[in-house]
Structure 1
Amino acid sequence: MSHYFDHVSQELHSKIAQAKVYISRHNPTTGALAEAVLRQFLNDHLPGAVGVEQGFIIDKEGGLSKQCDILIYDSHWYAPFYRVGGVVVVPAEAVIAIIEVKTSINKAALHDVIRYFQSFESLRLEAKTYLFMFNAPTLGTVSRHFHTYRHQGDYQEFDHDTFHFLPDEITGLNHSYHLQKGSVIHDRDAIGYLSYFYQDHEGTEINALERFFLSVYATVEQHLTRHHLFSPSLAPRAAYHSSKASNSIFAIDLFPM
């Protein structure tokens, strides 16, 4: 399966590169194409009981989210309240995952992403959150961007409250990695992000797209198991992807335990 995702990753990059030949001077359009490419990939590979679209989230009190690049929601039990031109408005309780997509990202853009995910606080979502970057900075650069984020007040470090609203997972394709929230052992016992690097049978790094896809698929499986007549006897998708031992770990230390 890993080799399949190598090819899919190359295909996603190729589609965006082809578009840039014609619209290289219009970054918003390139960004929209990147979102569409990833949405199509997920539409093709996720169960039919979920919808994969762009749009907005509304709660019972009428609170409305910012626009989401990719919304994965339970389309079996919940129909969108509104749909026009490929954009939907869906109820908060239907949302399974939110994915913010970037073709590339710098310090200011990453700080905007942090504020973007914090904006969902009032909706009290149970959805898993992802940041997906096609042309990703190095892990060291991502770590520096997190540590230069300006917090409100004098205390300039993340804590349990602010950490809660950061994206649950961060995927980079070009600099290949997949960061997950958790406890990290660095210079101190801390909370932050970890990226595990795996080896396949030829000794190359496993593709980050596969880690991202398996995470999204597992999140969908968990939702279907809880809310649908979903047979627990069915093997999870991850069972069809051979497990591999990690050979190195990178940690982003954000605040002490």
Structure 2
Amino acid sequence: MAARMSEWPRATWWRTAVRVAAVLAPLLTCALLSTVRDQVSAPTSVLILVVWVVAAAATGDRLAGILAAVSAGAWYDFFLTEPYLRFTISDAEDIEAALLLVLISIVVTEIALWGYRQQKQAYLRSGYLEGVLGAARAVAEGDMPAPAVAEVVARQITDVLDADSCRYVEGPVHDGRIAVLDHDGVLTRNGHPVDVDRVGLPSEEYVAVEVRRGTQVAGHFLVTATSHRTYPTREQRRIAVLLADQVAATA
């Protein structure tokens, strides 16, 4: 499903590589600028270094952005302010420039991360909508048998809720230990609401997403999330119910 974003940016090796680059790029840049420090003004050097901070923050790793900001400030001091090749600044203007570099870099990091999160949310919403429309199309066309539609929807619910697995079961939920997701995205177990935003989906029991035909429960999807704690938003939970509703026409 398109909503599940690639996991490769989260890989340990990738995060490590980004953070190492976030430290080394300002170091190498300042070392290079030190060879032409007489021809490059302090504001130009600061702007060049901020570019590396933006690049680090654009990966979505806050620590990488902060490391780049600190590295830029430190190596700017070391290579581009007097006395050179020492972590000491003697000129008040240089101190101001170094502090502004770090502060601006941190602000830019937060702005870049905000933009990254907004882009990710937009991508996820687009994927969720695509999944709902795909399920609705399969039902409307009538080319897929009911078990195949249920299987497609189960995969999409797994993606939307960031769960481990999901399967369709005919009939209502009979086990009171199983938490049930309603159309408002509220999860209840034994008549009590579960604060999914705070504690996540239950990992010790199933979560049921009912398939209703009018007032009757035709079946339900059993969702498993035991390998990791998952915190689907209310919007995601409501989309999972909407996906399940597509099976009502074929159940």
Q: State the TM-score bracket (shorter-chain normalisation).
A: under 0.3
More strand per residue: 1 or 2? 1
Higher helix share: 2
Q: TM-score, normalised by structure 1?
A: 0.23
TM-score, structure 2 length as denominator? 0.24
